Amino acid sequence: MATIAIIGSGMMGSALAFPARENGNEVRLVGTPLDREIIDECRRSNRHPKFAKHFPKGIPPFPEGCAFYQIEEMAKAIDGADFVIGGVSSFGVDWFGEEVLPKLPPDMPVLSVTKGLVDTPDGRLLTYPAVWEERLAKKGIRRSICAIGGPCTSYELVAHDQTEVAFCGKDRAVLRRLKKAMATDYYHISLSTDVTGIESAVALKNGYALGIALTIGLNQKAFGLDSPLHFNSQAAVFGQASKEMKRLLDLQGAGTLDSFCVGTGDLYVTVYGGRTRLVGILLGRGLDIDAAKAELKGVTLESLVVAERVARAVKTLCAAGRADAADFPLLMHIDEILTLKKPVDIPWEAFTFET
């Protein structure tokens, strides 16, 4: 049995309280400065406002269930915890790196759910664990950060849908401890030391899921909003997206077959639900990115940030002769749509090959 502090009470961070608590652990859910109303509701009803199901409780020796903390109570929440789960979105990366990580005990493991990549001036793509570790090192803090990757939507995890993810990190012993604390009969956990491969693959899927969703919008524009789904076009772009994801992993010198498959599984589930699907459909219908954002006002769109950063890195590598833009026609077109506001015109022939 472990004591687990989850910092960030968004949907995914809060969803992880379910396997954590149902596995017999003490769970402490901490809200960020933006989560005050969420924590108030959790305290009032023992339910996250976005979930239909109450948090689990009644597991001895903690019959009261999960405990909920506002951000100013974080020190109390992490006191005596065995590890911390970082549950912030990619827009909370800087806050988590500045306000949380430096305040944790040096030997406390951290498991992050945050997905994304940061591009550097020389065209490298850094995972968030790498970014955090680098920033902490400049402060004289040495910390290895683990992460979760794989196809997992928060509401399905809460519903106990069979889910397989990968925990990645540099220390296998730490990963095994985390798995022991979190694994249940519906939450299945693989372990990998390929942090760059796993984290890059599951970040890349956000931008490429948008590209696949473009075809849904295109077909709705051509055949009507209530027309049957057309899967040929979705499958064609899915294949191209997978190919480009593998090429990007190769450019990073990372990505085992297992890591790549974790990413493609995540790509699949992202196409079928969520915010990335919505923005892709709107773009495919003919809206430009500004109009699509206005339509989805208030919705965080991490996929846009990932796509723009990855495209920028690829263009940097191409300019240096280290990559060929012809290998990434889907990514380049997504970038044109987002940065130049060009209309959707999927380059189908650029996807074909001859062997």
Residue 63 pLDDT > 70, yes or no?
no
Query: If pLDDT is split at 50, 70 and 90, which confidence band does 3 have?
Result: very high
Model pLDDT, residue 255: 73
Residue 61 pLDDT > 60, yes or no?
no
CB atoms within 10 A of CB 116: 23
pTM over 0.85: yes
Q: What is the rounded CA–CA span in Å between residue 40 and residue 29?
A: 12
Model pLDDT, residue 22: 94
Over residues 80-102, mean pLDDT:
95
Buried b (16+ CB within 10 A) or exposed e, 301-326: bbbbbbbbbbbbbbbbbbeeeebeee
Task: For 30-69, give the DSSP string.
Answer: E--TT-HHHHHHHHHHSS-TT-SSPPP--BTTBTT--EEE
If you average pLDDT over every residue of the chain, what do you get? 94
Closest CA to 216 of 265, 264, 267, 279: 279
Strand partners, 145: 110
CA dihedral 131, 134, 138, 141 (to 10 degrees): 100
Q: How do residues 176-205 score in pLDDT, each as one tens digit?
A: 999 999 999 999 999 999 999 999 999 999
Model pLDDT, residue 231: 95
Cis peptide before 129 (omega within 30 of 0): no
Over residues 331-344, mean pLDDT:
97
Q: How do residues 257-282 score in pLDDT, each as one tens digit?
A: 999 999 999 999 999 877 899 999 99
Q: What is the rounded CA–CA span in Å between residue 73 and residue 78?
A: 9
Closest CA to 232 of 207, 210, 258, 212: 212
Model pLDDT, residue 70: 97
Query: If pLDDT is split at 50, 70 and 90, which confidence band does 53 have?
Result: very high
Q: Which domains, ranges and CATH numbers included, belong to the chain? A: 3-193 (3.40.50.720), 204-351 (1.10.1040.10)
Weakest-pLDDT range from 216-220, 294-298, 311-315, 343-347: 294-298
Model pLDDT, residue 183: 98
Residue 81 pLDDT > 80, yes or no?
yes
Q: What is the rounded CA–CA span in Å between residue 342 and residue 247?
A: 25
Task: Measure Cα distances from 97 to 62, 111, 128, 143, 203 in Å.
Answer: 31, 13, 10, 12, 18
Hey, is 16 helix, strand or coil?
A: coil
The H or E element that residue 89 is part of is: none
Hey, is 293 helix, strand or coil?
A: helix
Model pLDDT, residue 274: 79
Hey, is 8 helix, strand or coil?
A: coil
Model pLDDT, residue 301: 82
Query: If pLDDT is split at 50, 70 and 90, which confidence band does 254 have?
Result: confident
The pLDDT > 70 percentage for the chain reads: 97
Residue 147 pLDDT > 80, yes or no?
yes
Hey, is 139 helix, strand or coil?
A: coil
